[in-house]
Every structure is written in structure tokens, then in C-alpha cells.
A and B are shown apart, each in its own frame.
Chain A
């Protein structure tokens, strides 16, 4: 069923098992989760036991591995390929309080033709915007194949009641968002209320399945933002990744971009290890989206190298890996131009969006 409970379970509730998940009992998420956990109840206790059983992450070692991957030297044909792939993987983003239909239309135009001087330049994967502006993007991107990602669930803090969050999601879905970028309740996660986090993700996933009023669009894909900058440790990043995948995420995403640090290479590495291991456990493909703080083509290539050598070449695909970024695109375009003509163009040769 779709979660209709207005309120997340209050702490200290004594009836039933604490944090027991009953909301999303349609079976699509809960049955496989029960099987993986090996329990009949998906609750705080069983989730904690399962998440704690994951191997730890050594912080120094993860940082060293990410630094080592950063020393790969990508040249010539490999670089050209990586730059085009970066464009195709970009979720071109504007998430400002000052956004207007005009700025979103301008962003959509940029998404369609990132480099107006170069018809060979691919278009981006998606635009990422607030839910109330989704109708504008639907209009501007009709027929392009560019997807519309909408943040939801009281983005970026996630501090609102369940009903408000689900209404936020329903709004975006009804308006035609192809992808929903939800935030997890970090407070609940950090205080060990894993059942609540699980239930909320599962409920949002349910809400994403609604296709009424979406024309010929299918269900929306769900990206789950972990906000790794607030989770603080890599152990938490690993556990939150597994929790999100268990609850039905299609993608796991690092950050809202509103908290520092946003995406980092070691955090992305840990998440890529999680999707790799999830795939070998369940056969399900989950995508990864680092967002925020990736500003240069050089950074983007380091992420692609990390994808290639962690999750594997199959993940070098916009359906499995995305960059959440705004300024990154222009740096990539400048690098593409340099590779084409052999000289650097100035910033004014690429368009602002």
C-alpha cells in the first residue's frame, strides 16, 4: 500500500517491534528484503544486525585507493571518449531559490545543445530541478529524450512529515518527472532508526510507481540522496548505500550539493563498491550519482576511472552513472574544444545557462 501514515513512527514507541516496517507491504520491496535479511520482520533490530555485518571501511585505505586512481593519466582518444561520456552522464542542475521558468528554459536549451557551435556534441542525460518547475522542463524538453529529474521529499534537509514528503513526490511525478531525487532522513539514520529510513524510501518508491496523469511516461526512477557529508564516516556511507538499495533505490546519490563536503572521490568509491557487491549478490543493477563539487573535466575523468576500475566498464553508461553538476559541463566543453582545435578557448566561448 502507499504509505498514508502522516507521521513517522515516534521514538520510544513500545508496541510492536521498534521501527517495524509495515507501510510498504505490497511485497515488491519487502519480500526480497525479508529474504536478504533472513528475517520475517524488517525492523530496526534486523536492519541494524544486517548493516553491522557489512565489512567496515578503513578510512585511510579508501582515501589512498581513491588517490591512487586519481593518478591515472588519460590522454588522446581515451580522453575524448571520456569527455563525451561525461556530457552524456551529466544531470545539468539548477536548485536555487531564485530559479524561474526562464532560468529552467535556458537550462533546458543548454541541455539539448551543450555546445551550439558543435553539432557533434552529445546532449546531457537529464536536467535536475525543483518539483514546481517540472512542467516548464517537460514543455522545453519534449521529444528530446533528455530526462527530467526532480528533487523531492523536502529537499535538501528532508525535515518534514511523511505526508508532506510524499505529497512533494506525488506532485513531481504527476507533473512528469522521469526521475525523483529524494533525500533520506539523516537524523533517523544517525540515531539508528533504520526501519524508518527504509520505510520512507520504500514509500517514496511506491509513489514513484504511479503513472496516472503522466501520459505515456512509465514509472519514475528513484534516486536516493544519502547526503554523505552529514553521515560523516565511510562505514555509514556503506550502510546507507545498502539500506537504500534494499529499500528499492534505482540510483544512490551522494549529496544535495547544499552541504559541504558534497561528493568526494573516496565516498563515490565506497558507493561504487556497494553497487558492485549488490549486483553480485542480487543481480540487480543500481546506479551511482556523485553530485556537488565536481567542477572540472579532470575531476570528472578521475571519477570515470574510479567507475571503470571499481564497478567495472559496464557502469560507464548514463543509465548507471551520472554527474550531478552545473559548472562541470562548461569545463568539459572547453576541454572538448581544446582537443578539437588544439588551443584553449576562453570562458566566453561557452554559453551560460
Chain B
């Protein structure tokens, strides 16, 4: 062997037991949709059909909301925080115990590399449950509003939650854990293309003997989500997904008593100064845009690099990109997996073509993509101007646009020149500059000398068209308790 060819190291699928079909998880049990509708979920890496899941209609939504209401009134809101915490700790432990199963299933259904589902998604999901389990009996000390005559913050009631396909289990954890910790019950709709880990989570709720109706999971597509947020029995709506759908939801909810948090798109700037720790900055750029195939709302999709080091950064970046291993998501050595769906792939292809048409220079490392499934090679565009579509629109794929700046003020101006405002990254060895920049960047999360780091203790959320409300940390609890 002339060089170090890593032999395939596939993770075994044997740990997961995918049923041929799944019903809706309502009131502690699985049942078919009232009208019998179903959809198929496929493995985006192979286009193999994994299973068939029920599509919830209005009648099913109504049944689930009623179940959640009755669990809220009868059991969950009456239970002490200590008891709720016990259930959450139990769920967190089961997630850890079944981590491999969850990771493999997530990779099969979503297309993300097993090393990411194994090392990021599932451990973080467990961490969110552990973190919020700890809050459940300490809410009185969280600095949250307490209604008159009460000793503790009060839950909203029934939460309707709609989550995206990029981090199916992790987004579920971000939504379900704080809702349950604060005493709400939930009806959750996972994304159309990635329902399977949510359904496995439903089984985990059964295993944890969570009282029926506290967590209800309705699979389906856009219409199911629309019916859920519009249902009059919902007290609180939480949504993570695209800005377009977020706007529709805001319209639907407007004028009702429903509380709303939205975590929407982003077009984050990753800003590299000439005194940055260059090797780590390159890693951060790669992690910022190619982590999870770029299907990350806070992805560092705009690289702003100081002109004096731009050539060096781009040449090092290309060298590093040539090391990325694209392929079978179940292989433990895969760095970049499959695009989640044909629809998403088409959007990425369209925007990348627009980038070329508008005059930016496109580059991808040589890599062979599998024949079946949905794939897109990691791509970097240089000579991008702020007016190009690829510098303005969220691509949600492994496509990086490189822009340059000369002064810190110019970096701030360009970074803030976006309707979004979810995240940003700063790379410099100069501490004072980090603080100066962070003060001026209109972004919910600002990373310094790192990127795409998540922790349950740290609030996450956006400015402007990236949404409102925070998830995680003490701030995240506020979204799930009544205003005083």
C-alpha cells in the first residue's frame, strides 16, 4: 500500500430495530392516523426506504392536544418539581444507555456521519435532559416571573413544538426537556424526512414510564405542523426551521394567547483576522461550514477574512478540504455524509449555480460521490461580493462563501449586513478585539476562536429574521413559563 488508505470501518446497523411502519404516539401509545395516511422515510445515503410513518391529520392533532391537556391538568402540573426531575433524569439515562442505537438510527434517517451523531447529537441530547432535570425542582430560584399568589413560576400548559430535520433528536431534546422541566406537556412534530429518532424517543418515554399524554409525537408533513400550531388548545408554540415557515407560524399565532419562540435561519459570518491562530482557524472554518453537511442554522457560511491573509487562508483551507472524507455516513471515518433530501440537494445545486453565474469562483476538492443517494461535494466560493445570492441567502449545505475585509469596522459592517443574526465567529489572538467585535455583532451567539460549540447551559437564539426567544440555559426556561 503506497499510502495510508483507511479501510472501511462501518458501524453495525444490527443495533437498531426499525419497524416496517409506525403509528402516532398519543396518550402513551402508538395508533394509526384517523384517515390512515402514511409517508415513507428514506435513507438519504442510499434512497432505501427505511419505514412508513403515519401522517397526522386535524383529527389526530385534536386527539393529541386533548391527551396533552388532560395529562397536564390531571398529572403533570400537579406533580412536584422533584418528581418531574426524576422522570427527566430517567429519560436522560436511557438516552445514554441506548446511545448507539439512537446514533445509528439518526445517521440512517438523516444522512449525517456516524461520528457526529455518536459524538455530538446523542451526547448533547442526553446533556439537555440532565441539565433540565436539575432545574425541575429549582425553578423558584431561576429568576423567572412568578404569578401573584404563587410560590413558583407556572407552566404555560400544552406546548406545540415543530422541529427540523438537521438535528432531529437534538432539536427534540432542546424542545421537550425545558417544556417538561417547567411542567408543560407537549405535542411534538418531527420533520417529514427524519421522524425515526423521535419515534424511538417515544419508546424511551414508555420505557421511562412517563405518564401517558405528557409527551405526544405526531409525524407528518407541513400540513400537520400547521394544524398543530393553529389548534386552539395549544398554549405555547416553539418552532425551529426555515424563516419562511416561521413567518407563517407567526401569522397564525398572531392575536391569540399563544406564546411563541422561533429559531430560524442564519447566514453567519466567520471572521478571521490576520493575527488569528491560523491552523485552528482553518479547523474552525471547516467545522463551521462542513459540520453536518452545512445543514446547520448557525453555520459559518460567510467567511470574512482580512485581506492581508486572504490568500494564505484560502490556500490552507483548500488543502484542508482535500482531506475531508465524503461518503457512507455509517463509516466511522466519514467527515461529510449525505444531503438530507432531494429537495434540499436541488436548492443547494441551484444556489451554487447562481454563485458561478454571478461571477464567484467555485472550487471543490476532487472526491468521488456515491451513485445512489443525495450528495454534494464540499465547495468554497472565492471572489464573492456581498451582493451575490450566495452571500445573502441561506444555502443550508456544504458551501462556503469567502469575502474579505480590511479593518475591524468593515468586518462588523459586512458581518451585520444580513437580515439574519443567529451566530458569528471571531478569530484573533487579541482579547480586546474579541470583546470589541462581540459588542457590535448583531448575533445571538458569538464564538471566539471556536465555532459550532453547544452546551445546554448556554442560551441559543437569534436576532432579526433568525427568530426570537432563547433555548438553553436559564433564559430558555423563560419561554415555557407564564408571564406574571
Q: What is the interface of chain A, defined by CB distance below 8 A to chain B?
A: 55-58, 60-62, 64-65, 71-79, 81-82, 273, 304-305, 308-309, 313, 316
Instruction: Name which of B6, B275, B278, B449 has the most chain A CB atoms within 10 A of its CB.
Output: B6
The 7 closest A-B pairs by CB, nearest first: A61-B280, A73-B9, A58-B277, A73-B332, A313-B3, A58-B280, A55-B278
Q: Name the A residues within 8 Å of B276 (CB-CB).
A: 55-56
Contact of A78 among B7, B277, B279, B429 (CB under 8 A): B7
In the complex the two chains form, what is the Cα distance from A305 to B335 in whole Å?
A: 14
B105 CB, nearest partner CB in chain A, Å: 20
- Which label, helix, strand, loop or mixed, suits the secondary structure of the B interface? loop
A309 close to B280 (CB less than 8 A): no
Say yes or no for B145: interface residue by CB 8 A criterion: no
19 pairs, CB–CB < 8 Å, chain A vs chain B: A55-B278, A60-B280, A60-B449, A64-B450, A71-B119, A71-B332, A72-B6, A73-B6, A73-B332, A73-B333, A75-B6, A75-B8, A76-B7, A77-B5, A77-B7, A79-B7, A308-B3, A308-B4, A313-B2
Say yes or no for B115: interface residue by CB 8 A criterion: yes
Q: Name the A residues within 8 Å of B323 (CB-CB).
A: 309
Interface size class of B (residues with CB under 8 A): 20 to 34
Say yes or no for B283: interface residue by CB 8 A criterion: yes
B333 close to A72 (CB less than 8 A): yes
Q: Name the A residues within 8 Å of B332 (CB-CB).
A: 71-73
B271 CB, nearest partner CB in chain A, Å: 15
Q: Name the A residues within 8 Å of B279 (CB-CB).
A: 55, 57, 61-62, 65, 273
Contact of A60 among B1, B7, B450 (CB under 8 A): B450
B4 close to A56 (CB less than 8 A): no
A225 CB, nearest partner CB in chain B, Å: 23
Say yes or no for B111: interface residue by CB 8 A criterion: no
In the complex the two chains form, what is the Cα distance from A81 to B6 in whole Å?
A: 10
Q: Name the A residues within 8 Å of B7 (CB-CB).
A: 74-79
Q: Name the A residues within 8 Å of B284 (CB-CB).
A: 61
B280 close to A57 (CB less than 8 A): yes
Contact with A along B1-25 (1 / 0, CB 8 A): 1111111110000000000000000
A78 close to B6 (CB less than 8 A): yes
In the complex the two chains form, what is the Cα distance from A61 to B427 in whole Å?
A: 11
Q: Name the A residues within 8 Å of B333 (CB-CB).
A: 72-73
Mark out the residues of chain B between 1 and 52 whose CB falls within 8 Å of any chain A CB in the assembled complex.
Answer: 1-9
A237 CB, nearest partner CB in chain B, Å: 12
Mark out the residues of chain B between 417 and 463 whose CB falls within 8 Å of any chain A CB in the assembled complex.
Answer: 429, 449-450
A274 CB, nearest partner CB in chain B, Å: 10
The answer to whether A62 and B280 touch (CB under 8 A), given A56-B429, A74-B9, A75-B9, is yes
B5 close to A78 (CB less than 8 A): yes
B286 CB, nearest partner CB in chain A, Å: 10
In the complex the two chains form, what is the Cα distance from A309 to B279 in whole Å?
A: 13
A316 close to B3 (CB less than 8 A): yes
Q: What is the interface of chain B, defined by CB distance below 8 A to chain A?
A: 1-9, 115, 119, 275-280, 283-284, 323, 332-333, 429, 449-450
In the complex the two chains form, what is the Cα distance from A273 to B119 in whole Å?
A: 26
- Which label, helix, strand, loop or mixed, suits the secondary structure of the A interface? helix
In the complex the two chains form, what is the Cα distance from A81 to B3 in whole Å?
A: 9
A122 CB, nearest partner CB in chain B, Å: 14
Q: Name the A residues within 8 Å of B429 (CB-CB).
A: 56, 58
In addition to A57-B280, A78-B1, A81-B4, 20 A-B residue pairs with Cβ atoms within 8 Å of each other are A55-B275, A55-B278, A56-B275, A56-B276, A58-B429, A61-B279, A61-B449, A61-B450, A71-B119, A72-B6, A73-B6, A74-B6, A75-B6, A75-B9, A77-B5, A77-B7, A78-B4, A78-B7, A81-B1, A82-B4
B377 CB, nearest partner CB in chain A, Å: 18
Q: Name the B residues within 8 Å of A313 (CB-CB).
A: 2-4
For B323, give the chain A residue with the smallest CB separation: A309
Q: Name the A residues within 8 Å of B6 (CB-CB).
A: 72-75, 78
A64 close to B115 (CB less than 8 A): no
Q: Name the B residues within 8 Å of A73 (CB-CB).
A: 6, 9, 332-333
A193 CB, nearest partner CB in chain B, Å: 24
B23 CB, nearest partner CB in chain A, Å: 37
B449 close to A304 (CB less than 8 A): no
In the complex the two chains form, what is the Cα distance from A296 to B277 in whole Å?
A: 31
For B309, give the chain A residue with the smallest CB separation: A55
For B6, give the chain A residue with the smallest CB separation: A78
In the complex the two chains form, what is the Cα distance from A76 to B119 in whole Å?
A: 23
Instruction: Name which of B2, B4, B332 has the most chain A CB atoms within 10 A of its CB.
Output: B4
For B118, give the chain A residue with the smallest CB separation: A71
Q: Name the B residues within 8 Å of A273 (CB-CB).
A: 279
Instruction: Name which of B2, B3, B9, B280 has the most chain A CB atoms within 10 A of its CB.
Output: B280
Q: Name the A residues within 8 Å of B115 (CB-CB).
A: 71
For B11, give the chain A residue with the smallest CB separation: A73
In the complex the two chains form, what is the Cα distance from A71 to B120 in whole Å?
A: 13
B278 close to A316 (CB less than 8 A): no
In the complex the two chains form, what is the Cα distance from A21 to B284 in whole Å?
A: 39
Instruction: Name which of A61, A62, A72, A75 has the most chain B CB atoms within 10 A of its CB.
Output: A61
In the complex the two chains form, what is the Cα distance from A286 to B284 in whole Å?
A: 27
In the complex the two chains form, what is the Cα distance from A316 to B2 in whole Å?
A: 10
B283 close to A65 (CB less than 8 A): yes
Instruction: Name which of B5, B277, B323 has the most chain A CB atoms within 10 A of its CB.
Output: B277
Q: Name the B residues within 8 Å of A76 (CB-CB).
A: 7
A61 close to B119 (CB less than 8 A): no
B300 CB, nearest partner CB in chain A, Å: 14
A77 close to B283 (CB less than 8 A): no
In the complex the two chains form, what is the Cα distance from A219 to B243 in whole Å?
A: 68
Q: Name the A residues within 8 Å of B1 (CB-CB).
A: 77-78, 81
Q: Name the B residues within 8 Å of A304 (CB-CB).
A: 4
In the complex the two chains form, what is the Cα distance from A58 to B332 in whole Å?
A: 27
Contact of A61 among B3, B8, B277 (CB under 8 A): B277
A65 close to B8 (CB less than 8 A): no
A336 CB, nearest partner CB in chain B, Å: 16
A316 CB, nearest partner CB in chain B, Å: 6
The answer to whether A64 and B283 touch (CB under 8 A), given A55-B276, A58-B449, A72-B333, is yes
Q: Name the B residues within 8 Å of A62 (CB-CB).
A: 279-280
Q: Name the B residues within 8 Å of A74 (CB-CB).
A: 6-7, 9
For A60, give the chain B residue with the smallest CB separation: B450
In the complex the two chains form, what is the Cα distance from A24 to B8 in whole Å?
A: 52
A278 CB, nearest partner CB in chain B, Å: 14
B365 CB, nearest partner CB in chain A, Å: 13
In the complex the two chains form, what is the Cα distance from A309 to B3 in whole Å?
A: 11
